[in-house]
Structure 1
């Protein structure tokens, strides 16, 4: 995987950020979702390098090989703002101040927070398979609660850790033929680590508490995404059925919304529709190869 890329673990004040990076040209930062690591981009990242981009793929705080502080009672240690701070500072250590940014699933919320808090660092933003957490919670239906029950299960204290760690391979489905052997092996190693599982659950606990409060504060203050925003989702995700038209939802939060881009696959679009996702991102970020 990631032929020609370098890897590094960047030591920050209270966390270590594992990153993969390679290429030359405009910088694209790719943020993975749950329960993946940066290896989920193993087909998209090299393809973007071939299109003339520099590509940086971090593991989010607590996921994969990145490590953060112990969970805090208010879950702020694993908030999207804390994760965003990790990514932004790791990029600075690599000498990168401005970049295009794409996030998938939980990584999309980290990307959203970077764009909201630090628009001076972001050129263009792509948010994949998401609408704001607060918007989802405003639109809760029996269908949403049934299909996305994990949001609320993961938020419970202690029980999710006991259930998942009893048999992580059964809980987190995925096979080498679908994920690719090396990507699958990295994903499995991560989900078999109780510390990683705890951090991933804290991500969701933060989502329903401190992250929700941050979004509500943004709304009350009238803060919006200033940069061009591409909204994309997986064909099998039915995101428009779960929360309404995602483009329309994001128009309430951003000044310049593009899309939709519908990518083949059920959810993990970087693995299930890498060619179509690469095309959509390269076109939006301004393909240097034309």
Structure 2
């Protein structure tokens, strides 16, 4: 499924991440979205690995990665915690500075990694995602109807896990093995039938409705923005534009060079348009060579509740 790559389980202390990595060149980490695992990148990673070290982990709580016990405010599933995983993982693999790309929920983790760890992130690529606060502040009847699973999975009084685990095959509808690859399909369904993974995914959404929004709000109030070059990849046949122009919504969050490109696919870009996705990411990375590290040296982990070291602008 992945050419010349290594599959490992890396112990980071509070979590163990399942990760696949290979290739040579400047490193880039690819972060999947809900409800996928790292294998969603199986058609993209080998193409990028011709010029890059490519690292594809399962996010904490997803796939074969673990999740710590539930914490107040669902902090264990915050994007800040997941971003810390990314930086620690890349450090363990010998990469202090790297590009990060994320799709769907993974785009939220990629964004938070760039915001909290500007010394580490050289490039940011977001695919079909916006900062959580931008979605929540624009919520209306149209958004609630189209993205209703946000509210369903975010419930705690009547946990969604009971409904999903009762019949995961009815809840999750995915393309077949011929469309997304037999091994990717099998890996995805092993995860979807695992109650621990279903809980991890629900906790991701619960964090999104609360603590993740708080972190975004604090960044905006402090004038912090993404310092590195950023690329938005928007699916042509999805609804990221439900709030209007996604690039216009992203622009105030980015201080460095910013590009917006449309990918001819539905929501799951890496599975439906892998060549175009790999080309878009590769061209973007080549167009913006890695700059010198920001003042402050190596990447720093940011503890939940502490002010992140993101770049401040007037």
* TM-score, length-scaled by structure 2: 0.89
Deviations 1:245-271 (A, max 9, x none): 111111111113533211122201000
Deviation of the 1:287 alpha carbon = 7.5
Deviation at 1:27, TM superposition (A): 0.6
How many Å separate the matches in 2 of 1:265 and 1:172? 20
Equivalent residue number for residue 272 of structure 2: 272
Could you say which structure has the higher helix fraction? 1
Matches of 1:227 and 1:167, distance apart in 2: 43
Q: Structure 1 stretch 15-24 or stretch 171-180: which is displaced more?
A: 171-180
Where does residue 286 of structure 2 map in the other structure?
286
Partner of 2:64: 65
Within 2, Cα distance between the matches of 1:169 and 1:3?
Answer: 30
- In the alignment, the residues of structure 2 paired with residue 56 and residue 159 of structure 1 have an alpha-carbon distance, to the nearest angstrom, of 33
Q: Indicate the residue corresponding to 1:78 in structure 2.
A: 77
Cross-structure match for 2:212: 211
Q: Verify the 8 A CA contact 1:247 1:257 in the aligned structure 2.
A: no
Q: For the residues of structure 1 that align with 2:170 and 2:177, how far apart are their CA atoms? A: 14
- The whole-number CA distance in structure 1 between the counterparts of 2:149 and 2:100 is 26
Asked if the contact 1:225–1:255 (Cα under 8 Å) also holds between the matched residues in 2, the reply is yes
**Secondary structure of the equivalent of 2:49?**
helix
Partner-residue secondary structure (3-state), 1:266: coil
The answer on whether the counterparts of 2:127 and 2:234 sit within 8 Å (CA) in structure 1 is yes
Q: Quick check: 2:77–2:204 contact (8 Å CA) kept in 1? A: yes
Match of residue 109 from structure 1: 108
CA distance in 2, matches of 1:154, 1:10: 28
TM alignment of 1:252-267, pairs within 5 A:
252-267=252-267
* Aligned-pair CA distance for 1:137: 1.1
Aligned residue in 1 for 2:251: 251
Partner of 1:26: 26
CA–CA separation in structure 2 for the residues paired with 1:5 and 1:37 = 16
Give CA-to-partner distance per residue, 1:57-86, whole Å, 9 cap, x none: 010001001102112231001100111111
Q: Is residue 179 of structure 2 the alignment partner of residue 173 of structure 1? A: no
The number of aligned residues is 286
Partners of 1:231 and 1:257 within 8 A in 2: no
- Tell me the SS of whatever aligns to 2:161: helix
Q: Give, in whole Å, the separation in 2 of the partners of 1:285 and 1:41.
A: 17
CA–CA separation in structure 2 for the residues paired with 1:90 and 1:256: 25
Q: Is the Cα contact below 8 Å between 1:104 and 1:127 reproduced in 2?
A: yes
| Aligned residues: CA RMSD | 1.3
8 Å CA contact retained: 2:251, 2:258: no
Indicate the SS of the match to 2:225.
coil
Long gaps (5+) in structure 1 = none
Deviations 1:264-285 (A, max 9, x none): 2220100011111111000001
Aligned pairs for 1:136-175 (under 5 A) are 136-157=135-156, 158-174=158-174, 175=176
Kept after mapping to 1: 8 A contact 2:59/2:82: yes
The C-alpha deviation readout for 1:214-260, integer Å capped at 9, x for no partner, is 000001111110011101111111212x1211111111111135332
Distance change (3 Å), C-alpha of 1:107 and 1:286: same
Q: Which consecutive segments of 4 or more residues in structure 1 shift more than 6 A?
A: none
Q: What CA distance in whole angstroms lies between the structure 2 residues aligned with 1:245 and 1:119?
A: 26
Alpha-carbon distance between aligned partners in 1 of 2:270 and 2:95, rounded to the nearest angstrom: 24
